[in-house]
Amino acid sequence: MKNCILGALLLISFWSQAQEHAWIYFTDKPNVQAAINNPSTILSARALARKSLHQTPIDARDVPVNETYITSIKNQTGITVKAKSKWFNCVHVLGSIEQIDALANLNFVQNIVFANRMLNSRPTINQDQTAMNQKFEVNVNYSYGSSSNQVTMMQVENLHQNDFTGNGMLIAVLDSGFPYVLTNPGFTDLNQDNRLLGGYDFVDRSTDFANPNSHNHGAKVLSDMVGFLDNQFVGTSPESSFYLFKTEDAFAETPLEETYWVEAAERADSLGVDLINSSLGYYAFDNPDYNYTPQDMDGNTAFITKGANIAVEKGILVVNAAGNTGQNPSFPIINAPADGNVFTIGAVDQNGDYASFSSTGPSADARVKPDVVAQGAGAAIIDLDGSVTFSNGTSFAAPIMTGAIASLWQANPQKTNLEIMQIVRESASRYNNPNTELGYGIPNFSTALQQVLSVHEKQKNRIIAYPNPTTNDLYLSYASAEAITLKIYNLLGEKLLESKNIKHIDMTPFAKGMYLLRITNGSQEQTLKIIKE
> Phi then psi for 333, rounded to 5 degrees?
-90, 170
Taking a C-beta distance cutoff of 8 angstroms, is the pair 111, 91 a contact? no
**CB contact at 8 A, 396 and 357:** no
**What gap in Å lies between CA 132 and CA 304, rounded to an integer?**
19
Please name which of 10, 59, 51 lies closest in space to residue 32, comparing C-alpha atoms.
59
Q: Are 453 and 414 in contact (CB under 8 A)?
A: no
**Do the beta carbons of residue 63 and residue 36 sit within 8 Å?**
yes
One-letter amino acid at 126 equals N
Q: Are 516 and 510 contacting, i.e. CB atoms less than 8 angstroms apart?
A: no
3-state secondary structure 458-525: HHCCCCEEECCCECCEEEEECCCCCCEEEEEECCCCCEEEEEECCCEEECCCCCCEEEEEEEEECCEE
Radius of gyration of the chain (CA): 24
- 189 flagged as catalytic: no
Q: Please state, in angstroms and rounded to a whole number, the distance separating the CA atoms of residues 298 and 329.
A: 19
What's the gap between Cα 117 and its chain centre?
27
Catalytic residue among 214, 391, 395, 427: 395
Cα four-point dihedral sign 164, 168, 172, 173: positive
**Residue of 175, 201, 224, 274 marked active site:** 175
Catalytic residue among 217, 240, 371, 391: 217
Helix 394-410 × helix 445-453 angle, to 10°:
30
Alpha-carbon distances of 176 from 12, 195, 228, 415, rounded to whole Å: 36, 20, 21, 31
- Verify whether residue 217 is a known catalytic residue: yes
3-state class of 304 per DSSP?
helix
Type of residue numbered 355: A
Beta bridge partners, 321, equal 345
H-helix or E-strand spanning residue 110: strand 109-114
Task: Tally helices (H) and strands (E) across the chain.
Answer: 15, 22
Residues noted as catalytic? 175, 217, 395
